[in-house]
Structure 1
Amino acid sequence: MDIAPLTEALQRDAVWVVFVNVLLQQLGLPIPAVPTLLIAGSLAGAFGPAAQMLMAAVLASLIADGFWYSAGRAFGYRVLSGLCRLSINPGSCVSETEGRFMRWGAWSLVIAKFVPGFSTVAPPIAGSLRMPLAGFMAAAGLGAALWAGAALLGGWLLRAQLQSVLAVMSRHAGTAIAVIAAGLGAGLAWKLWQRHRFKQLAVMPYITPVELMAALESDTPPLLLDFRGAALLAQTGPIAGATPAHMDDLPRTVSHWPRDRPVVTLCACPDDATAVRAALSLMKLRYTSVRPLKGGYDAWLRHLDQQAR
């Protein structure tokens, strides 16, 4: 297999190749754009073509970010939950990504492109939190320019080495494809192992919404920790008697609670990921009775709806 035609196509239509590749990646497809940007940068012979590639990358990124911003503004946390469900790693869930955005503010959009798994979820979070559109576009555009510009510049600075690599790949295409496939396979295996490990850790007693409702109405109600993010809390309001919490300050939040008091954790994450992690952390802090809410906030809402009928 000769990759020279591919290189020639990139030289001839670099702007469009960069635009399409970045757009598809930022929309959430597993198509890495950095290798394309590096090669495109190595093939840019002058400032003009490089500037066009940069503008194409920024425009594509802004189109994708604008789409996810609008989706987040219209549908709120349901978009975030859907995106997180596409991730093999259940740790990539709504409350954690939203908490990161709340801590970093607009700067999270500037650095989002450099954080794997965060670049796609940051725009819908901004939309769900009603971040002003002008500020969002400015921060997202700056982040896209820094990210794409760094990759293009890196490709230009390493153009001799990249051209040598491309030449070797052209002569030994079969071996190169095997190495790339092995790398992709190793990455997938790592993610699947992470999910398997999480499933093992998640083997613990849960509490159902019916059991939680009965416990809350008893003489010794459990302490309830709510790990939903600010966007969902703003949309749906707090749960009566629940304490809003975040993983980063969990020890401080529960520092005054007796360790023999029952504790229930809940979140709005796929696989109850944050609720499970919080329960494990509380067990390490020697809390003797901790259970995540099975099905999380969605299951709790369904139970309330059934009761109201």
Structure 2
Amino acid sequence: MSLFETTELLVFVNVLLQQLGAPVPAVPTMIVSAGLAGTLPGVLLLGVLATFASLIADWAWYLAGRFYGYKVLSALCRLSLNPESCVSQTESKFRVWGPWSLVVAKFIPGFSTVAPPIAGAVKMPLWKFTLASALGAFVWAMAALLTGWLFQGEVQWLLQQMQANLFSFLLVAGLVLGVWLVWKLSRRYAFQARLRMPKLPAGDVLALVRKGESHLRLLDLRPAVIQEAEPLAGWQPATPETALSIAAQWPRHDLIVTMCACPGDVSASHVATALQEAGYWNAKAMDGGYQAWVELQKGHHGGQSPHRLPTVH
């Protein structure tokens, strides 16, 4: 029996495509394949193949993050149906667990794709990344495969029912997918509508810093692991949860500028809105976020690495 007549190739390709970011579910495929495998060694083989496929995709994203940094994360989250969830999950998981969150990343929808480029961006050693990624992928794959193997009788019965009622099954699956897609798109639209607020151009912020504006407060909302790897002089490290307590130390009329490394300045706009609702009327998100700030400083220094800016007290 050739490889093309078995489920091994199907599992390998399915997992590879999903981990690269394609909207194709891999868990159902693994459950069904394990149910058809019959023997435990066959299930273990599927687990090894799924782990290797996942590693190939993770290595690709890791190298992309290593060479292109946050541009990769921004692009990935921009493609997400819910960029708010993409950004908040990415930041919070790395803030709490650090790069070793890769071990559990496969069990968190959306996070498994954005975690590897972050690990690359923060220069996580390749051997440590590979170990954490492989461990997480193997545990994730075996959880699905063992489920299919333990319930192989039910899996085979379900396949028989699907074959006997293929049209009805496809109709129900299409309706469920349509409802889910409409719900996700409505959430995305509602969130973006809430964040339509005036933003402060990065050039204006830089001008105020160089002027030495005493009533300017800068909040850096990038993930903590990123703040430590690439600290920015003049910017106060913060999180969406600590921003209000930090702002409580400042006069309410001060200009508070929030900045993140996320698509559409999602986190920065969210925190600026929360600050405004708390009475800090001059809170604004910086347009373009971290990328705009870095490019603007490079422009002021002839394309060279920018000098550290003076701290704003």
- TM class, shorter-length: 0.7 to 0.9
RMSD: 2.5
CA distance 1:299–1:73, change in 2 (3 Å): closer
**Counterpart residue number, 1:190:** 183
Question: Of residues 103, 107, 119 in structure 1, which corresponds to 2:112?
Answer: 119
Q: Aligned in 2, Cα 1:51/1:117: closer, same or farther, shift over 3 Å? A: same
Q: How many residues align?
A: 301
Counterparts of 1:1-309 in structure 2, within 5 Å, are 12-92=5-85, 97-216=90-209, 217=211, 219-230=213-224, 233=227, 237-238=231-232, 240-307=233-300
Kindly state the Cα deviation for residue 302 of structure 1 after the two structures are TM-superposed: 4.3
Q: CA contact under 8 A between 2:94 and 2:223: conserved in structure 1?
A: no
User: 1:280: how far off?
Assistant: 2.0
The 8 Å contact of residues 122 and 229 in structure 2, kept in 1 or not, is answered as no
Q: Please state how far the C-alpha of 1:92 moved relative to its aligned partner.
A: 4.3
Give, in whole Å, the separation in 2 of the partners of 1:288 and 1:76. Answer: 33
- Counterpart amino acid of 2:72? V
The more displaced of 201-210 and 224-233 is 224-233
Partner Cα distance (2:89, 2:154) in 1? 39
The AA in structure 1 aligned to 2:141 is A
Moved more, 100-109 or 195-204: 100-109
Structure 1 residue 286: deviation in Å? 2.7
Percent identity between the two aligned chains: 44
User: TM-score normalised to the size of structure 2?
Assistant: 0.87
**1:109-131 C-alpha deviation (Å, 9 max, x unpaired):** 11100000000111111122222
Deviation per CA, 1:259-291: give whole Å up to 9, x if none: 232211111211110111111221333322211
**What's the TM-score, normalizing by structure 1?**
0.88
Q: In structure 2, do the counterparts of structure 1 residues 11 and 170 end up closer, same or farther at CA, with 3 Å as the change threshold?
A: farther
Cα drift, residue 96 of structure 1: 5.2
| AA at the equivalent of 1:27 | L
Change (3 A) 1:201 1:10: farther
Taking a change above 3 Å as real, the CA distance of residues 158 and 95 of structure 1, as seen in their structure-2 partners, is: closer
Structure 1 stretches of 5 or more lacking a match?
1-8
Structure 1 runs (4+) greater than 4 angstroms displaced:
92-96, 230-237, 305-309
Counterpart Cα distance in 1 of 2:88 and 2:154: 42
Moved more, 89-98 or 50-59: 89-98
Q: Classify 1:305/1:135 alpha carbon distance in 2 versus 1 (closer, same or farther; 3 Å).
A: closer
Structure 1's 51 and 177: CA in aligned 2 closer, same or farther, altered over 3 A?
same
Match for 1:108: what amino acid? S
Structure 2 gaps of 5+ residues are 303-313
Q: 1:161: Cα distance to partner?
A: 2.4
